[in-house]
Amino acid sequence: MVQLVWVLVACMMYTAMGSTRISLVSTSIFDVTKYGAKGNGKTDDSPAFMKAWKAACEAPSNVRRSILLIPARRTFLLRPISFNGPCKPSSIYVQVSGNIIGPTKKTDWIGSHIDTWLEFTRVNGLTVSGNGRIDGQGPIWWENACIGTPTPGTTCHAPAALMFKRCNGLRLNGLTHINSPRVHVTITACNGVIISNLRIIAPETSPNTDGINIASSTNVKIRDSIIGTGDDCVAISGGSSNIMISSIVCGPGHGISIGALGNGGADVVENIEVRNCTMIKTLAGVRIKSWQGGSGYARKISFKGIKFDSVYNPIMIDQYYCPTQTNCRTSTSAVKISDVTFSGIMGTSRMDNVINISCSRSVACTNIVLDSVYISSATPGRKVFGTCINAHGRATHVKPSFNCLKR
């Protein structure tokens, strides 16, 4: 039986990694149940996972690939846990065939780092794959993100479910992520990432439950996934470049966003492409958002082949971002936005203002291009329109008529 599991996992690795050949001689499997994990959904399996991870990460020098196996037909309860590198094997494969659930009580977080539930740090050549499910037990956080009674005026943030920090060459695919306390998947300071075939699910009313957040990362591809949450399906933050997002079905949620940028400092974002994505009844479609008073730039950004189905705010550049609409800043400095293209876009909107390009009055948006954009009202017969503030560029084959861009 052990040999059979070993061969099956090696075959799954071959499938997930395409044409890469796996040398069985240099691959070792570390089954968490062999290190004491019960998988009954009640026992805290965190200590067993840490033992298995340590063994996989510190495998002997003749092991090139370690497989951390989380077997099927079991549910593993984990408290906040960090899987840290660097590791001795050149690649680590986490095969998630079973289910993972978070603590069912907030008190289980006392004494732990509150920012993240499951964290991988400095693990290069990491693959996390499988058909298992990761359940963050979000409902216990959504109404009140604090633990206990905080000092008056304290702002509490629920934890992110799954975070990858400084994990170059990361592959994440196949899993179902549900009900994160906050963001489902966070990619921070990583290079060479491919995320594919995920399902990320949370109620439309769940606060700040973004699907995937990318920050300070380069060369990231996100594709072929279904995301429906209470916030952005995908959000790209400052310090990120060379990002490709394709074939995402988004809804409910807040669409695919770049930003918010410029919140208290300089932000840089460039070479972003979003293509062949579908937004269904989302609060926003595709947008770039920044605070007043920021600096830096967002440039070389394209949205291509986007479909909208009854979306609010389909196309937006918002340089007056202020989500609370209270004590909003007023400043002459702004993130410089340039070289942004919206092309091959069509669908329906629940709002009358379907194209809203609101740029800083002191720092204009430049080279904004709209081409073959056709958006109508989700209410038959209702007229729609577009608006601009200090935006320069051109619009061709756009309906509704969009003549406010300056040359």
CB 50 within 8 A of CB 81: yes
With a CB cutoff of 8 Å and minimum separation 6, the contacts of 232 are 210, 211, 213, 253, 254, 255, 256, 257
φ, ψ for residue 51, nearest 5 deg: -65, -45
Among this protein's residues, is 177 annotated catalytic?
no
Q: What is the distance between the alpha carbons of residues 252 and 243, in angstroms, rounded to a whole number?
A: 23
Q: Is 179 in contact with 206 (CB distance < 8 Å)?
A: yes
Catalytic residue flag (residue 31): no
247: CB partners within 8 A, 6+ apart: 223, 224, 225, 276, 277
Among the listed residues 231, 232, 267, 339, the single catalytic one is 231
- Residues 58, 51 contacting (CB under 8 angstroms): no
Identified catalytic residue from 254, 267, 318, 339: 254
Amino acid residing at 208: N
CA angle 229, 178, 284 (to 5 degrees): 10
Cβ 242 vs Cβ 216: under 8 Å: no
| Residue 131, C-beta contacts closer than 8 angstroms, at least 6 positions apart | 96, 97, 174, 175, 176
- 289 Cβ contact list (under 8 Å, min separation 6): 257, 258, 259, 260, 261, 316, 317, 318, 319, 321
Tell me the catalytic residues. 231, 254
